[in-house]
Homo-oligomer: A and B are copies of this chain.
Amino acid sequence: MTWDKAQRTAALESMLTIRRFEETVVGLFLEHEFMTHFHLYIGQEATGVALMEALRPDDRIATHHRNHGHVLARGADPKLALAEILGRENGINRGAGGTMHMSDTDRGFIATSAIVGGSISLATGAGFAMKTQGGDAVAVGLFGDGALEEGVSYESLNLAALWELPVLYVCENNSEGALGSAGGGFPTSVSAVGDLTDIPRTFGIPVETVDGRDPEAVFDVASKGVAYTRARKGPFFVHVATARYAGTQPLWPTLPTGETDISMAWDDSGVSGEHEQWYREHDPVLGYARKLLASGDVTQDELKEMDARVRERISEARQFALDSPRPTPESALDHVFA
């Protein structure tokens, strides 16, 4: 099943929103508005947006350190998300979570763990609860290819398969072209398993690979997986292949491709240089914009309006975050125990 025109443009706008949000996050970091390391969702926007479209409000989600796009795609207010990243009192988690632990419980996020292997194992528990408590809600675990290096992930797949838990595992494999240790970064996907999909398969868990640049393709595969697990047939594994964004290195990502120029979707002139391949092939936002232009779902003018609208929204969010109060020191002890 494919999307109608409205859904398509909405998906593109959501993707662009995440992009502008992340570009703003980098700016705020460079302005020393927050000091800790962080992770960008740039290059993976299509996955978050399409996946959340395939879910129901009562489904539960556990995600990981690269969570900004997931939270926004699920409908969180950029204002509150940015306030959270800046550690402000009115952030999604009262500023206690920061960039790595945004957990919007109103939108079904049960946890956002920055411990590799955390989200996949906690999501398995959410699936257990969904099954035990009846109904047909499902659990979703979002994690990266690196999580498949941690033993707890294998254990979790085993549990989900054994007890036929309603869990949709979504692995965002962004290691194609990963910088790895060469770039002073984490060498992810250090696995002897040539094809990572062999891992869920070993436990008898159905798995499908999809191109992470194409939101509609991701939506179709995710929907199939959700239907399968919602029907209580057991867990399902979605392997999303995405190219790693050039600015993605720990600890502090950058914007080597610059602020996204939406006009590249129709005007080729600026598309060149070191990152030409990114602009032409990898960038999911530009790619989807081109597709919708080609299909006539949007016009250049509509795209410009959309971009203006999104920029406006994010800059308002930015201001809101900067104007937000910081938590009081003493409140540090308010939420240790219920």
**For residue A163, which residue of chain B has the nearest CB?**
B192
Contacts of A206 in B (CB 8 A): none
Q: Which of B161, B191, B198, B203 contacts A158 (CB 8 A)?
A: B191
Within 8 A of B (CB), among A266-297: none
The reply to whether A192 and B155 form a contact with Cβ atoms under 8 Å apart is no
Known: A198-B202, A199-B202. A192 touches B161 (CB 8 A): yes
Contacts of A191 in B (CB 8 A): 158, 162
The reply to whether B149 and A151 form a contact with Cβ atoms under 8 Å apart is no
- Report if A152 contacts B (CB, 8 A): yes
Q: Which residues of A contact B (CB under 8 A)?
A: 149-155, 157-158, 161-162, 190-194, 198-199, 202-205
A-B complex: 8 closest residue pairs judged by Cβ atoms: A151-B151, A161-B192, A154-B154, A151-B155, A192-B203, A162-B192, A202-B202, A151-B152
Q: Which of B151, B162, B203 contacts A153 (CB 8 A)?
A: B151
Q: Which of B153, B158, B194, B202 contacts A204 (CB 8 A)?
A: B194
Instruction: Kindly report how many copies of this chain are found in the complex they form together.
Output: 2
CA distance A315 to B47 in the complex (A): 70
CA distance A154 to B153 in the complex (A): 10
Q: Which of B151, B192, B203, B205 contacts A150 (CB 8 A)?
A: B151
Question: Nearest Cβ distance between residue A288 and chain B, in whole angstroms?
Answer: 35
**For residue A158, which residue of chain B has the nearest CB?**
B192
**For residue A161, which residue of chain B has the nearest CB?**
B192
Contacts of A158 in B (CB 8 A): 149, 191-193
CA distance A150 to B153 in the complex (A): 10
The reply to whether A162 and B150 form a contact with Cβ atoms under 8 Å apart is no
CA distance A205 to B199 in the complex (A): 14
CA distance A155 to B192 in the complex (A): 10
CA distance A153 to B194 in the complex (A): 18
Question: Nearest Cβ distance between residue A319 and chain B, in whole angstroms?
Answer: 46
26 A-B contact pairs sorted by A residue (CB < 8 Å): A149-B155, A149-B158, A150-B151, A150-B155, A151-B151, A151-B152, A151-B153, A151-B154, A151-B155, A154-B154, A157-B192, A158-B191, A158-B192, A158-B193, A162-B190, A162-B192, A192-B203, A192-B204, A192-B205, A193-B202, A193-B203, A193-B204, A194-B204, A198-B202, A199-B202, A202-B202
CA distance A157 to B158 in the complex (A): 17
CA distance A150 to B158 in the complex (A): 10
CA distance A81 to B122 in the complex (A): 44
CA distance A168 to B13 in the complex (A): 55
Instruction: Name which of A154, A190, A191 has the most chain B CB atoms within 10 A of its CB.
Output: A154
Question: Nearest Cβ distance between residue A257 and chain B, in whole angstroms?
Answer: 32
CA distance A162 to B194 in the complex (A): 11
